[in-house]
């Protein structure tokens, strides 16, 4: 299988000292646990090797009573903005460079955030549960070095990571044999996430409704978040990835990851496997 390297230029991605900034969009069921995991990663990296990492939390929603216990919030935080509450807690515990943006993310905001701190490679993390929110993420995708999307149903979930929404960018992406120049965006691998406002299982519109009806597994969001954070831990520590999507089923206690190979990418995108290894 081929590891992923950063495009424009690949050498910049492989540098072990290249600083990274993580922009987490959505601080609810999955995003709150992703934020905690990335804060732990940042603290560990700072203590061990001084690597510069930034974390930005984006969410315009406020903590409600039903969020407590299933999301990373306490009753004392009810009524507070989710991004600001997480930022205050994680900063107080570890003294990390974390910023809160208490707004609902749209394409313009995400584009603006991508332009800050130009010396940092930007990683966009989608932890949202609506088609509209994901459309904004997909539209801003080109302004980020890497995009990772987390999603879940009642008892299962998936994580996908990619670099481009442009089919032509994938032509010959694996031609070097040892390095992948590009990976398909999560929204190419799972186009239904942005193409249709498909209802959740049982006809509900969001994960919040599934939680309210006590159908969604208590641990599904945290498990999906842990998988996402592991992807990014590998990305930070090794400056490479060897898989591009992972599915988990918490009822069956099973997980599957797909390697970065022409066959696996063809299966995920509907393109011919030869597309990824040939220039023409």
Q: Is residue 108 part of a domain?
A: yes
3-state helix, strand, coil in the chain (%, to 5): 40, 20, 40
pLDDT at 251: 93
Domain assignment present for 3: no
Alpha helices (runs of H) in 181-251, residue ranges in sequence order? 186-189, 192-195, 207-212, 220-238
How far, in Å, CA of 114 to CA of 198, rounded?
29
For residue 219, is it within any domain? yes
Please report whether residue 259 resides in a domain. Answer: yes
Give the integer Cα–Cα distance in Å for 229 and 74. Answer: 22
Residue 4 included in any domain: no
- What predicted TM-score, i.e. pTM, was given to this entire model? 0.89
Confidence at residue 179, expressed as pLDDT on a 0 to 100 scale = 81
Number of structural domains the chain divides into? 1
CA dist 182 and 165 (Å) reads 10
Fill in the DSSP letter of residue 275: G
Provide the pLDDT for residue 238: 87
Beta carbons of 85 and 77 less than 8 angstroms apart? yes
> Quick check: is 1 in a domain?
no
- Considering the domain boundaries, does residue 104 fall inside one? yes
Nearest residue to 147 via CA among 182, 180, 192: 182
Does residue 94 belong to any structural domain of this protein?
yes
pLDDT tens, N- to C-terminus, the chain (280 residues) = 666 654 433 333 446 678 999 999 999 999 999 999 999 999 999 999 888 899 999 999 999 999 999 999 999 999 999 999 999 999 999 999 999 999 999 999 999 999 998 999 999 999 999 999 999 999 999 999 999 999 999 999 999 999 999 999 999 999 887 788 899 999 999 999 998 754 444 333 455 555 544 467 889 999 999 999 999 999 999 888 999 999 999 999 999 999 999 999 999 999 999 999 987 6
Structural domain harbouring 225: 10-276
- CATH assignment at residue 84: 3.40.50.720
Q: In what order do the strands lie in the sheet with 121-126?
A: 98-101, 53-58, 20-25, 121-126, 146-152, 156-162, 243-249, 254-259
């Amino acid at each position: 299988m081929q590891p992923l390297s950063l495009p424009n230029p690949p050498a910049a991605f492989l540098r072990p000292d290249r600083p990274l900034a993580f922009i987490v969009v959505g601080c609810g069921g999955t995003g709150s646990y992703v934020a905690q995991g990335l804060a732990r990663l940042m603290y560990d990296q700072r203590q061990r090797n001084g690597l510069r990492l930034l974390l930005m939390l984006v969410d315009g929603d406020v903590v409600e009573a039903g969020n407590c216990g299933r999301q990373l919030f306490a009753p004392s935080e009810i009524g507070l903005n989710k991004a600001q509450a997480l930022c205050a807690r994680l900063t107080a515990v570890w003294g990390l460079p974390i910023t809160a943006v208490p707004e609902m993310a749209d394409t313009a905001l995400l584009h603006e955030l991508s332009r800050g701190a130009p010396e940092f490679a930007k990683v966009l993390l989608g932890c949202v549960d609506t088609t509209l929110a994901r459309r904004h993420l997909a539209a801003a995708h080109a302004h980020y070095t890497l995009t990772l999307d987390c999603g879940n149903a009642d008892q299962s979930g998936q994580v996908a990571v990619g670099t481009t929404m442009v089919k032509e960018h994938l032509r010959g992406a694996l031609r070097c044999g040892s390095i992948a120049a590009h990976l398909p965006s999560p929204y190419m691998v799972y186009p239904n996430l942005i193409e249709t406002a498909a209802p959740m299982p049982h006809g509900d519109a969001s994960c919040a409704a599934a939680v309210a009806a006590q159908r969604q597994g208590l641990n599904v969001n945290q498990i999906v978040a842990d998988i996402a954070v592991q992807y990014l831990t590998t990305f930070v520590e090794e400056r490479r990835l060897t898989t591009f999507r992972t599915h988990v089923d918490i009822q069956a206690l099973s997980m599957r990851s797909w390697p970065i190979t022409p066959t696996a990418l063809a299966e995920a995108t509907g393109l011919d496997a030869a597309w990824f290894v040939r220039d023409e």
